[in-house]
Structure 1
Amino acid sequence: MTIRWAEKLLVAKIEGTYGTDSTPGGGDAVLATAVELSPMEGQDLERNLDKPYLGNDGTIAVDLHSKIKFRVELQGSGTAGTAPAWAALIRACAFAETVSAATSVTYNPITASHESISLYLFIGSTRYVMKGARGNVAIILNASGIPYLEFEFTSLFTLPAEGTPPTPNYDGYQDPTEVSNATTPTFTIDGDDYVLRNFKLDAGNDVQGRFLIGDERVIIVDRAEMLDFQMVAVPLSTLNPYALAKAKTQVELVITHGTEAGKIATIEVPTMQIQRPSGLAEAQGIMEWPLRGKPRPDAGNDQFTLTLT
């Protein structure tokens, strides 16, 4: 029987115990796009046997794991102080969630006590189970585009099998608003407004599989956040990225998308170190700066926040 690639259903749920299937169902459905699955990653060990004739000796598959990559539209729950439908995904990328009732939900990177999720991907009736999954996330906002959270997860390996997909419930997902002058009211550096073309904040998680005798798990061993953004150039007397980079000066960057309560997302980087500009860009005859920056922790775990209000 033919399996249609379009017949995909992704569900995800936080695990109570690492690597123990949390059995996500239709209420845990993920409204994803651009799904890419690598169901059986690992190594193939060559046996290299000595024999009196030529030919293959066969291989042994080891360190098996799965990887999945996809995007989710960046949009709040529609109610201030209520976690979004994609909350489990970002929590499994080494983020803490702080809920202020009827006010806000804030996510910040953390160093320890990382959570994990179980994901199921159904393609037709084939079910791919990914337990003990942890990953990385990038926040993407491009002018005239849809704002996205781009996730990539690594999980323990489970043999795919046939299964019955649950009925998905996507009620927790709100329609996104495009990134524009009207819907993205704030982009500031050190408190001053500038004109932005595109923006990407990558959490930079170093996600590794750890396959030992007596223990197999996926861990996040380090983090190196990176900002990439392109803005309209201004006179150096207004903003001088070259001087900032040379002096290793730290500046605050804030971008806010959304204007309706429950659907506002604010990314705040209190201590961004501008990296040396590597070139110039031009669009419609206007000069622009492609810039990079490193979010720097101050007290720790405070290098940036994503706040939904």
Structure 2
Amino acid sequence: MAAPMYWRDKRILFKLEGTYGTDAAPTGAANAILGFDVTLKPMEGQDQERDLEQPGMSANGTIPLDLHSKLTLTVDLSTSGAAGTAPAWGSLLRACAVAETITAGTSVEYTPIVNGQESGTVHISIGGTRYVMLGTRGTAEFMLDAQATPKIKFDLTGLFTLPADTAAPAVDLASWTEPLVVSHNNTPVFTIGGTALVMKTAKLALGNKVEPRFLVGAERVLITDKSELFETTVEAQQLAAFNPFQMAMAMTQVPVAVTHGTEAGKIASLSLPTAQMQRPGLSQSQGIKEWSLRLVPRAATENGQWSMTLT
């Protein structure tokens, strides 16, 4: 009897492609991903019914169409530890229509793009079976919750290939550094419209519209649109100090700033220069009045909705 295959015993590799849909051949030494909450749907698509008129009564066969793979995973939003050195998750974010700009020894900046979108190759080894996703693109969410480690959740879609039994690669995860808990001491800046607020949760969803497009002559996974959204829960204040209701009525656009980390090489700063306040909600936690705020990052300049800068 064959031994069982253990789900936790997996290796995930990701590497950006030089040519779309061509296996970039990621290696365990340079391209290993340290993630959690991993979900793999290796053979998504449709089954076309045959609806054949045939003698008797029985089910018809089907034909598989639109085959693609989906991978969801979450990683720590941790920096490389050295200013000007890209983090281990940088390549994943670049496959979400995001540009990476490195200033040597100083900073790494991530900003949204439309043209020049990159794609990647995923190799996942589970129990000696390797699943490969080509031409992979996706969307992401930055999540910062108080008294928890900051995270990035990725939803990736790639072209389907047949799995194969292959020896599991050895992986080097040294580039994945330990994250800092989101807290009063570790997260010194959280402001909306220049007003410092007491934050419980915050999330920026990139809102990429990811679509497989399979035609004669080209099979691709495309990011065809974007709709970013920033959501946060904060302690309510007197309206004289901060009035989200008036902002929503006036469709006011305000800057949002979040800085996490205090030491050089370990600082991540999220900036939304012109975010439109939407209708706020009201709730409570531990008997404390809270506001649930939603802001839509607007592009005051082309592709200037948001930026993430590591220093």
Q: Same fold judged by TM-score > 0.5? A: yes
Q: Is the counterpart of residue 96 in structure 1 residue 99 in structure 2?
A: yes
Picking from 18, 21, 35, the partner of 2:20 is 18
Partners of 2:174 and 2:231 in 1: how far apart?
A: 33
Q: Is the counterpart of residue 232 in structure 1 residue 229 in structure 2?
A: no
Picking from 132, 137, 145, the partner of 1:134 is 137
- Equivalent position SS for 1:245: helix
Alignment of 1:237-256 (within 5 A): 237-256=240-259
Over residues 196-254 of structure 1, what are the superposed CA-to-partner deviations in whole Å (9 max), with x where a residue is unaligned?
A: 00000000000000000111000000000001110000011111111101111100000
Deviation at 1:144, TM superposition (A): 0.7
Partners of 1:200 and 1:163 in 2: how far apart?
A: 38
Picking from 297, 301, 309, the partner of 1:307 is 309
Q: Is the counterpart of residue 55 in structure 1 residue 43 in structure 2?
A: no
Which amino acid is 2:294 matched to?
R
Partners of 1:65 and 1:39 in 2: how far apart?
A: 7
Picking from 286, 297, 300, the partner of 1:298 is 300
Q: Is the counterpart of residue 198 in structure 1 residue 201 in structure 2?
A: yes
- Equivalent position SS for 2:92: helix
Picking from 9, 12, 24, the partner of 1:7 is 9
Q: Is the counterpart of residue 183 in structure 1 residue 203 in structure 2?
A: no
The 8 Å contact of residues 139 and 210 in structure 2, kept in 1 or not, is answered as: yes
Partners of 2:303 and 2:44 in 1: how far apart?
A: 31
The 8 Å contact of residues 245 and 279 in structure 2, kept in 1 or not, is answered as: yes
Which amino acid is 1:98 matched to?
T
- Equivalent position SS for 1:243: helix
Which amino acid is 1:227 matched to?
F
- Equivalent position SS for 1:29: coil
Partners of 1:138 and 1:12 in 2: how far apart?
A: 18
The 8 Å contact of residues 78 and 176 in structure 2, kept in 1 or not, is answered as: yes
Partners of 1:296 and 1:251 in 2: how far apart?
A: 10
Which amino acid is 1:293 matched to?
L
Partners of 2:155 and 2:244 in 1: how far apart?
A: 31
Picking from 282, 286, 289, the partner of 1:287 is 289
- Equivalent position SS for 1:280: strand
Deviation at 1:52, TM superposition (A): 2.6
Q: TM-score scaled by structure 2?
A: 0.98
Alignment of 1:69-84 (within 5 A): 69-84=72-87
2:67 is aligned to 64
Q: Is the counterpart of residue 149 in structure 1 residue 182 in structure 2?
A: no
Over residues 115-160 of structure 1, what are the superposed CA-to-partner deviations in whole Å (9 max), with x where a residue is unaligned?
A: 0000111112110000100000100000011100100100000011
Partners of 1:153 and 1:228 in 2: how far apart?
A: 22
2:269 is aligned to 266
Runs (5+) with no aligned partner, structure 2: none
Partners of 1:136 and 1:267 in 2: how far apart?
A: 17
Picking from 195, 208, 212, the partner of 1:209 is 212
Runs (5+) with no aligned partner, structure 1: none
Partners of 2:16 and 2:123 in 1: how far apart?
A: 12
- Equivalent position SS for 2:135: strand
Picking from 120, 124, 131, the partner of 2:123 is 120
Deviation at 1:261, TM superposition (A): 1.1
Q: TM-score scaled by structure 1?
A: 0.99
- Equivalent position SS for 2:171: coil
RMSD of aligned Cα (Å): 0.7
Deviation at 1:167, TM superposition (A): 1.2
Structure 1 moving runs of 4+ over 6 Å: none
Which amino acid is 2:308 matched to?
L
Alignment of 1:34-45 (within 5 A): 34-45=37-48
Q: Is the counterpart of residue 29 in structure 1 residue 32 in structure 2?
A: yes
